[in-house]
Structure 1
Amino acid sequence: MWRNLALLFFLCTCGRAQVALAQHQDIDFSAEVSKARTFINSTVEYSLVLRNAQGTDLVPPAFRDFIVLRGPSRAMGTTIINGVGSSHLTHSWLLQPKRVGELTIETATIVAAGRTYRANSKTVEVLPVDAGAAALAPDDFLRAELSTDTAYVGQQIILDLNLYSTTNVISRNLMQEPDFAGFFSQPRRQYDGRPRTVIENGREYQRRTLGSLALFPTKSGRIRIDPYRMVLGTVRYRNSSTFSRRFTEQIPLNTDTLYVEVKELPQPRPADFSGAVGSYRLDVQADRDQLTTDDALTLRIIVTGEGDIERLDAFPPVSDKDWDIYDPVILQEELLDSPSGMLGRKIFEYKVVPKRAGQYDLRPGLTYFDVDSNRYVTNAPAVFPITVTGGTGQATYEIDTLSEEAAKLVLLPVRDLPAGRSYGSATASRFYYWLLFLLPLLGAGGALAWQAYRARQAGRDPAEVARARAAQAATQRLKGAKVHLDAVAPRPFYDAVEGALFGYLRDRFNLSVAKLNRRNVSATLRDAGADAALAERYDRLLQRCEMALYAGQDQADDLADTYRAARELIVDTERQVE
């Protein structure tokens, strides 16, 4: 009995110790600064963040090289991600540096869950103020930034459109964007759009990424990227002797013209080169490890990588000396967005049949051009030992090769005609003879009718043709939204709805891309004779799409209502606008 009690006490003690250890492992205490570089006349925010605990006895740094302008201020919060909750307690100070140089903020301590935690030290680089350079620097500017300006054909390049501002920006209207001739372009959504404080040209700017693209060069040479053009709305104040008046200033901005030097892949290329360029990973699955010469082995190969997945061709997974290799089936080909760039994925399914019995070590490999090492590499991650035994000669598989054998020419022997038959025929008395005789005349009449129809179509007003096609085009676009609605994919759904509405309005009213924004849409509808309620419905629905795409309000419970509202908008527009 005493032995059992001792064992029970030991297990309870160990369990409590493990729970306490797990709790301590989740607790984190760290220091953060709002910017790593600043000017002597600027400020920096310093924060101490305690996660998953309630702390006491906080001992902050001494701040010897800084003037404390405000603080400490305290804030608490809770975050729930995938059903797992976490809490944080933040103490913040607003600091102004006393001198120029590398200034160090020492460590801080706090007591949580019976233990003392120490936060890391932080270093801030303080720069002198160059009044001359700062006076010449613009208040706001737009810059298109490339991840690299030299690449190979098919290599992924990330282009970020960044806005640098020192003013209070209240509106942004993109007037023109490049056509990216010579590239396959793919918009990205998983990029960091949070504002960051950076130092450029002797001034502090808030840098915000407005958009991001993945570009894949399709040809070699020096490829030009034309500028983006944008109109920025900023808040200004005009002071007089008696009052200050607030107004909005429209500032035109544009990026510089960029050039990318694109090179062809080095020669000679390996015989088994798949055409892929970038960095790739291979995952191979085999359906069995034992079979006979009557069986077919199924290999499923999943290729994932940062590159143009469409350039990846089918490649032989095994040696054709020992195996008959049939053309693969492409089960999936897609581009996936990620914070680091676009990821391509392609899934092949091969059927291979052994030519003879034996032991085989299969090692399917992908040969591609690696842009990091600038050389051709082969990725063969796994070896599959396969045992093949002799069969009966009767195949147990069916493979549709989609091939047809050419019919052989066979000369038949001459035979005598049956009694009562003779050579020759009275075709002139048959119906099909006259049908063939009149066929050219019918064809000529049809050609004349077709030319008359084409002439009438060519004489139609282009605007009328565009309006006639608008509803049909919008219906086609909403089909894409219906697919995402059925799959309950909120972000792609709202993206498709917004694109369908803007595309319909562009075709219906002959609008340019630069005028496709909510304010211009309302004005265009009113000018066309639509009532104010219709314009307001467009504004509400487009605002709903923007909130879902850019503010994270992409709930899945109102997708059906949004889809129905988009369809009704298009129908009501056709009824009201002539």
Structure 2
Amino acid sequence: MPANSLFHRMAIASWIVLVLPLLACAQNSDAVSFTAYADAREVVQNSYLEVTFTLKNADGTNFSPPRFQDFKVLSGPSQGFQTTIVNGRMSKEITYSYRLQPQRKGTLTIGPASITVGGRTLQTQPLEIAVVEGASQPGNGSDEVYLKARLSPALDATRSVYLGQQLAVDYILYTRVDVQGLTAASESTYDGFFMREVHQYDNRVVREVVNGVQYVSRILKRVILYPQQTGPLTIDPLSIVAGVPLPGQRPSGFFSRPDMRRVPIASQPIRLNVKPLPLPQPAGFSNITGNFTLAAALARNTLTTDDALSLVLTFEGEGDLKRVQAPPLDFPADFEVYDPKVLEEDYIDVTAGSKGRKKFEYLLVPKKAGSYTLQPRVVVFNTDSMAYQTLTTVPLKVEIRQGNGEKKSGLIAGAPENQGLYPPRQTIRLATGGGGFFGTPVFWGLLLLPIIVTGSWLIYRQVQNSKPPVDPVLLQQQRARRAALARLQAAEKHRQAKESRAFYEEVERALLGYVSDKRQIDRANLTKANVLAQLQELGASDTETNQFMGLLRTCEMALYAGKDNADAMEATYTQAAAWLAEMEEATR
């Protein structure tokens, strides 16, 4: 195959490997959006803020910023691009950032920005920024960094929740200095709560004005709490130690670090009043508290009286999933209902908080044929409306046909034998074919294979150990003939190719190598002066010795005198092969 064709195919294969996963991820990408974000809703006059316009999951053209009336543009636009793939879902962002300085006090408006995507124009929502006058004296330094535990605005105002109601607590760091190190000291044990720590939240820096002083804030930690008992409960402070540079320092080098002072800070405790659910409770209340949606699904809607029906009930929303138990459902009397089981229980962290999903499976066995409508209803306490609510699914139509009386036990996966769903068999029949893997020839072959291999290896070792040890010297002498013949075969190829120099080199190596291997002498130590003595030690006759020396002189003359006669090469090859055969006969 030509090299360029191979390279072309490899390039195509590499393109497929790289691009197909991205195309698959692109199909799972989120919706297109164009939004505006300001890192401050309130700033001090003569301060600044940053505004970012973000286009998600699309490529845009003709970006047009707002007029920024009443603002001075300090820098921008700074454009950024980011692509992420999480759990097979790809998202990408294009950002346009500006740094703005307000020119007057009051409530200022940043108008919408626009961009063109796929032939249509997208616009952001306008932003309102409150510009206030700063404090004349920003403080004595004791408030340069502090920590605050914050609830949602509604809960922060009342400090009152219901039993099982979900609440989020954000621990926010406020600072006017460059904090370069944070160390956790202690945290609440959250007595009386079920606690979940959230790892996905918006931890971007936000500029806030507190008592006329401009701060930079960001969320350090977020927890989700579910009250498990009524009455007064307290969330103890979170304590940390912050590293703050000493004032008046100048960097002495690129790698230098300023001297730090350790500042212990702690949030204020949060005291809550946990109320029981209001009375009277409606009939059929499920003891589920939260803001949930309800959905139901059937594995199939057409079956016989010999089949079992699987109905999956799904709760999804905000609330304590541990308190969500399978509610009793009102099924028609023509169905035999078995205890439900939990299929799934997962929490999903989102930017605004946390959501959960829990699924239950109900197994139903129809007693007679007919058409039925299943519509589960569950009564819950909704923590948003602070009222009881009946959740209802869409109607599910089921058509039951008369069966033949033979229950199909395989329809209920994992059902215990003592569940009483189907009557036990009165007889046991042994399968005559296709009875599985055990007992088959393949089974016995695989079972005996390790034993056979181990036994064969032990027998081989025993036989080898019983043999007399091989003398390595004798072994090398026996290999001398094979090595010499191999070199002569190489010489013959050179002769046929009329390569005289290579031919005589191989003949010389064959002769000297033979004596060297037979006598266990290194080739470098074999000279003309001692080769005669080595031949006598091998038992060579005077004729054989003279033939050997004559062959060496022929090779020497050919290598140094340029002898390349074809007949001479053939005669040399014949003489060398004959001498080798005679020596093997003499040394036996």
Query: TM class by shorter-chain length?
Result: 0.5 to 0.7
Task: Give the counterpart letter for 1:195 in structure 2.
Answer: V
Which residue of structure 2 lines up, in the alignment, with residue 102 of structure 1? Answer: 107
Decide whether the 8 Å contact of 2:50 with 2:97 is kept in 1: no
Q: Find out whether 1:36 has 2:41 as its counterpart.
A: yes
Give TM-score scaled by structure 1 length.
0.56
What SS does the corresponding residue of 1:314 show, helix, strand or coil?
A: coil
Going from structure 1 to structure 2, the CA distance change for 1:351 and 1:39 (only over 3 Å counts) comes to same
- What are the Cα deviations for residues 490-539 of structure 1, in whole angstroms up to 9, with x where unaligned? xxxxxxxxxxxxxxxxxxxxxxxxxxxxxxxxxxxxxxxxxxxxxxxxxx
What SS does the corresponding residue of 1:319 show, helix, strand or coil?
A: coil
CA distance in 2, matches of 1:396, 1:111: 59
Decide whether the 8 Å contact of 1:74 with 1:89 is kept in 2: no
Task: Give the counterpart letter for 1:39 in structure 2.
Answer: V
Q: How many angstroms does 1:235 deviate by? A: 1.2
CA distance in 2, matches of 1:214, 1:340: 11
Which residue of structure 1 lines up, in the alignment, with residue 82 of structure 2? Answer: 79
CA distance in 2, matches of 1:360, 1:112: 49
- What are the Cα deviations for residues 5-39 of structure 1, in whole angstroms up to 9, with x where unaligned? xxxxxxxxxxxxxxxxxxxxx99987664423211
CA distance in 1, matches of 2:141, 2:247: 21
Q: Find out whether 1:371 has 2:383 as its counterpart.
A: yes
Which of 360, 379, 394 aligns to 1:348? It is: 360
Q: Find out whether 1:92 has 2:104 as its counterpart.
A: no
CA distance in 2, matches of 1:54, 1:403: 65
Q: Find out whether 1:388 has 2:400 as its counterpart.
A: yes
Which residue of structure 2 lines up, in the alignment, with residue 142 of structure 1? Answer: 147
Task: Give the counterpart letter for 1:127 in structure 2.
Answer: V
Decide whether the 8 Å contact of 2:134 with 2:214 is kept in 1: no
Q: Which runs of 5+ in 1 are unaligned?
A: 1-25, 405-578
Higher mean C-alpha displacement, 101-110 vs 300-309: 101-110
Which residue of structure 2 lines up, in the alignment, with residue 18 of structure 1? Answer: none
Which residue of structure 1 lines up, in the alignment, with residue 278 of structure 2? Answer: 266
CA distance in 2, matches of 1:290, 1:118: 49
What SS does the corresponding residue of 1:310 show, helix, strand or coil?
A: helix
Which of 281, 284, 292 aligns to 1:280? It is: 292
Which of 183, 187, 191 aligns to 2:193? It is: 183
Going from structure 1 to structure 2, the CA distance change for 1:225 and 1:99 (only over 3 Å counts) comes to same
Give TM-score scaled by structure 2 length.
0.55
Which of 162, 170, 184 aligns to 1:160? It is: 170
**Percent identity of the aligned residues?**
31
Q: Find out whether 1:400 has 2:416 as its counterpart.
A: yes
What SS does the corresponding residue of 1:313 show, helix, strand or coil?
A: coil
What SS does the corresponding residue of 2:180 show, helix, strand or coil?
A: strand
Task: Give the counterpart letter for 2:416 in structure 1.
Answer: D
Task: Give the counterpart letter for 1:80 in structure 2.
Answer: T
CA distance in 2, matches of 1:153, 1:359: 41
Which of 305, 308, 322 aligns to 2:317? It is: 305
What SS does the corresponding residue of 2:130 show, helix, strand or coil?
A: strand
What SS does the corresponding residue of 2:240 show, helix, strand or coil?
A: strand
Which residue of structure 2 lines up, in the alignment, with residue 224 of structure 1? Answer: 234
Higher mean C-alpha displacement, 392-401 vs 316-325: 392-401
What SS does the corresponding residue of 1:179 show, helix, strand or coil?
A: coil
CA distance in 2, matches of 1:334, 1:98: 49
Which residue of structure 1 lines up, in the alignment, with residue 67 of structure 2? Answer: 61
Alignment of 1:236-251 (within 5 A): 236-238=246-248, 246-251=258-263
Decide whether the 8 Å contact of 1:360 with 1:386 is kept in 2: yes
Q: How many angstroms does 1:364 deviate by? A: 1.6
Going from structure 1 to structure 2, the CA distance change for 1:261 and 1:291 (only over 3 Å counts) comes to same
Going from structure 1 to structure 2, the CA distance change for 1:400 and 1:119 (only over 3 Å counts) comes to closer
Decide whether the 8 Å contact of 1:284 with 1:364 is kept in 2: yes
CA distance in 2, matches of 1:293, 1:193: 57
Going from structure 1 to structure 2, the CA distance change for 1:294 and 1:271 (only over 3 Å counts) comes to farther
What SS does the corresponding residue of 1:178 show, helix, strand or coil?
A: coil
Which residue of structure 2 lines up, in the alignment, with residue 561 of structure 1? Answer: none
> What is the aligned residue count?
370
Q: How many angstroms does 1:387 deviate by? A: 2.7
Which of 125, 129, 148 aligns to 2:130? It is: 125
Q: How many angstroms does 1:104 deviate by? A: 4.2
Greater CA radius of gyration, 1 or 2? 2
CA distance in 2, matches of 1:226, 1:140: 20
Decide whether the 8 Å contact of 2:71 with 2:100 is kept in 1: no
Which residue of structure 1 lines up, in the alignment, with residue 268 of structure 2? Answer: 256
CA distance in 1, matches of 2:401, 2:113: 71
What SS does the corresponding residue of 2:202 show, helix, strand or coil?
A: coil
Q: How many angstroms does 1:279 deviate by? A: 1.3
Q: How many angstroms does 1:136 deviate by? A: 8.6
Decide whether the 8 Å contact of 2:233 with 2:274 is kept in 1: yes
Higher mean C-alpha displacement, 32-41 vs 360-369: 32-41
Which residue of structure 1 lines up, in the alignment, with residue 342 of structure 2? Answer: 330
- What are the Cα deviations for residues 123-180 of structure 1, in whole angstroms up to 9, with x where unaligned? 4322112325756971111111123232111111111111111111011111110010
Task: Give the counterpart letter for 1:284 in structure 2.
Answer: A
Which residue of structure 2 lines up, in the alignment, with residue 169 of structure 1? Answer: 179
CA distance in 2, matches of 1:193, 1:163: 11
Going from structure 1 to structure 2, the CA distance change for 1:113 and 1:139 (only over 3 Å counts) comes to same
Task: Give the counterpart letter for 1:145 in structure 2.
Answer: R
Which residue of structure 1 lines up, in the alignment, with residue 19 of structure 2? Answer: none
RMSD of aligned Cα (Å): 3.7
Q: How many angstroms does 1:392 deviate by? A: 5.2
